[in-house]
Amino acid sequence: MNDNRFIHLETKLAYQDQMMHELNEIVIEQQKKMIKLEKLYKELVCEFQSFERTLLSNPIHDDKPPHY
């Protein structure tokens, strides 16, 4: 293998290694965001269920307002 080809392969490998590192960092950040979103989703579901229970225990009546 001549020196130019060897240098080319080493350079290519270095770029791929850097790209892999950058992609790994992106995956880590996205995983952190997913964890936050899952937590927020669970909180919203709990809040919605609480709101739903409140509505079911105190139904809104469709009575006419007093001025009718």
Q: What is the DSSP string of 3-67?
A: HHHHHHHHHHHHHHHHHHHHHHHHHHHHHHHHHHHHHHHHHHHHHHHHHHHHHHHSPPP-PPPTT
pTM > 0.85: yes or no: no
Between residues 15 and 67, the one the model is more confident about: 15
Q: Greatest CA separation found in the chain?
A: 97
Local confidence band at 7 (pLDDT 50, 70, 90 cut-offs): very high
Q: pLDDT at position 64, please?
A: 74
Give the residue with greater pLDDT, 10 vs 67: 10
